[in-house]
Amino acid sequence: MLTVPHHGGDTSLTEPFLEAVSPEVAIVSVGSDNRFGHPHQATLTKLEEILTYQTAEDGSIEVISDGSVYWLRTHE
């Protein structure tokens, strides 16, 4: 699981980083209609093959773990 840096700004992720980390899920913490236009389309394009949640669309996102596995729960 990856928490996307800088609210998904255009320079927040690189392809080599994503390849090295290889996340199954990405979470973008971002407000709706923010004045910076986050998350940037370039970042969303890099995340196309990864299950991605955005707080602006999915509400708050809770990560629950037993130490071995994790679950995600959204609260719209």
Domain count, the chain: 1
CB neighbour list of residue 14: distance below 8 Å, 6 or more residues apart: none
pTM: 0.89
pLDDT in tens, 17-35: 999 999 999 999 999 889 9
Mean per-residue pLDDT over the chain, rounded? 95
What are φ and ψ of residue 58, in 5° steps? -105, -5
| Residue ranges making up the domain that contains 26 | 2-75
pLDDT in tens, 3-21: 999 999 999 999 999 999 9
